[in-house]
Amino acid sequence: MHHEPLLDGLPLTGQIDRGAGPRRLCLPDENEEVLRPVEYVDKEIAGWLAQSSRAPGLWRCVLVSGC
């Protein structure tokens, strides 16, 4: 199914968790990881992206209520 990576977390290639399955990153954490390299280049742009992005709210909506 196409939605499985979103609901179960994004699998991190080459990383294994304690259960011997692929280590996964949940959507809110993935959003932070995407912003991290931007912060290295320009902290102001990273701050603007973090404040203006609707993604965290959408992830909460999807994960909590399924909308």
Q: Tens digits of per-residue pLDDT, 31-42?
A: 788 888 999 999
Distance CA 29, CA 9 (A): 9
Cα separation values, 57 from 12, 30, 41, 50, Å: 23, 13, 25, 11
Higher local confidence (pLDDT), 62 or 8? 8
CB contact set of 12 (below 8 Å; sequence gap of 6+)? 22, 23, 24, 25
Whether residue 24 is predicted with pLDDT greater than 90 in this model: the reply is no
CB contact set of 53 (below 8 Å; sequence gap of 6+)? 31
